[in-house]
Structure 1
Amino acid sequence: MTLQNAADMVVDAARVTLTLGQGDGATEILRGIDLKVPGGESLALLGASGSGKSSLMAVLSGLERATGGSVRVAGMDFGALDEDSLARARRGRVGIVLQAFHLLPTMTALENVAVPMELAGIDDAFERGRAELAAVGLRHRTDHYPTQLSGGEQQRVAIARALGPRPQLLFADEPTGNLDAATGASVMDLLFERRAATGATLIVITHDPSLAARCDRVVELADGRIVAERRRAERVGAA
């Protein structure tokens, strides 16, 4: 994918820095990140623990404010927004799937998917929630609580919840970290399938090169910097 027009970019980050703490205790986490992600691309942020990949996800998703540089996501300048405006900007534009599922234990699978959409003002939230659960193979589990679901099923609910509002940008942070190899592979198959069906741009945060290799592009981080970048065609050619 070679789109370079700024209007085509779901993510347009320039010279992004992130420093936590102050004075002698300050720690530089991100050190001048430049990253553009065109619509429809699947991108892996690859790196060891402490490389800055999860911090970069937090900045790009609006969960953390950059210390310096600029971040535009789905046409919104995140740096120009106050906290309330930033929360509204994320809603419907950004979906997140995390390693630990983060389902509400007192809600059924359907409620976990539908209630966030309902709170966002989507009128047919429960109808859409049922459709999303059916799409991830959980039509028969809508009334089950998280404790009644396997780890793989819980992550499928999390995928349905993230994609229900049809976000332009979907983050998956170590999405198979709490799953065995076979279940993890199945969940990733589903994640890529649903991403393709909804047209979302996907950013996968991982330390696993084999998982990263499934994406259109791999961006490797170390010590808060981008140290390598390769596209699928280049990797195939190199093989």
Structure 2
Amino acid sequence: MSLLAQPLSLCDWSLVTSQNTISARNLTLTYDPDKNPVEVLRGIDLDIASGEVVALLGPSGSGKSSLMAVLSGLERSSGGSLGVAGQDFTTMDEDQLAWARRGRIGIVLQAFHLLPTMTALENVATPMELAGDPDATAKAQAELEAVGLGHRLGHYPTQLSGGEQQRVAIARAIAPGPQLIFADEPTGNLDISTGHDIIELLFKRRQDTGATLLVITHDVELAERCGRIITIGDGLIASDTAAA
């Protein structure tokens, strides 16, 4: 049986419903628990509905990026229960989490993380090709055109501006058609004007696809663009409110 086809155990079906893309209960993350334990997440309870646009707001060191890493499957939690995009992340090892992310979760980071030896088209298409998608190149080209880079398909990252590189990163995240998109400080390496354009693009592509979007930020103005603001403090949810 494929890893992606493995059923959830009966006790975990309540975590993953058609209404919730994410459901977490008492989620914890502790680094170096045996020698010098550092509690990063100290018991997160969280439900995010399908199609929601949510901001995770908080200062540096609050735990918001660590929470994103756990929710996206980049990091295993230390305890608690977690259902994401139809999968029970609680029992998965690192390899299984990597498989579970494919096609389900798109990630846009502050650092663009483009491969310098690959063109824009190759940077977007290659992850889908590795996942066995026979239409990877066509999907990559279509998404690059959707983010305004149809004329830059053959350009390498060093030939692109910072804003263009982040557009490639957004295309790479969205091209597989994920249910869930994470954006961690997506404008952190950009000037104000370019950053504004990138946010407008990210929100538009999310609206076009209907994906759930979590934006990790310390920018209150950006957070208020989202439908819901979750404030993280000292590894806990300090507040959870609808945006004004």
Query: Which residue number in structure 2 is paired with residue 192 of structure 1?
Result: 203
Q: Alpha-carbon deviation of 1:230?
A: 1.2
1:65 matched to which residue of 2? 76
For 2:202 and 2:184, the matched residues in 1 are separated by: 12
Q: TM-score, normalised by structure 1?
A: 0.94
Q: 2:97 maps to which residue? A: 86
Q: Deviations over 1:43-102 (max 9, x none)?
A: 000000000000000000011111110110011100122332221111111110000100
Aligned to 1:108: 119
Alignment of 1:1-239 (within 5 A): 6-23=17-34, 25-232=36-243, 235=244
Q: Specify the code of the residue in structure 2 equivalent to 1:219.
A: I
Counting aligned pairs with the same residue, the percent is 64
CA distance in 1, matches of 2:208, 2:227: 16
> Structure 1: which 4+ aligned runs deviate by more than 3 Å?
4-7
Mean Cα deviation higher: 98-107 or 81-90: 81-90
AA matched with 1:21: D
The separation in 2 between residues aligned to 1:23 and 1:139, in whole angstroms, is 51
Deviations 1:4-29 (A, max 9, x none): 99431000011001100134511000
Partner of 1:36, secondary structure, is strand
Distance 1:22 1:228 in 2: 27
Q: What one-letter code is carried by the residue in structure 2 that aligns with 1:206?
A: T
Secondary structure of 2:42's aligned partner = strand
Distance 1:207 1:14 in 2: 24
Whole-angstrom distance in 1 between the partners of 2:226 and 2:124: 26
d(CA) in 2 for partners of 1:171 and 1:160?
13
Q: The residue matched to 2:51 in structure 1 has which SS?
A: coil
Consecutive unaligned residues in structure 1, runs of 5 or more: none
Alignment check: 8 A CA contact 2:21 2:49 kept: yes
Q: CA RMSD in A?
A: 1.3
Cα 1:5–1:111, aligned 2, differ >3 Å: closer, same or farther? closer
SS in 1 for 2:90: helix
Unmatched 5+ stretches in structure 2 = 1-14
Give the Cα separation in 2 of the matches to 1:154 and 1:109. Answer: 8
TM-score (norm 2): 0.92
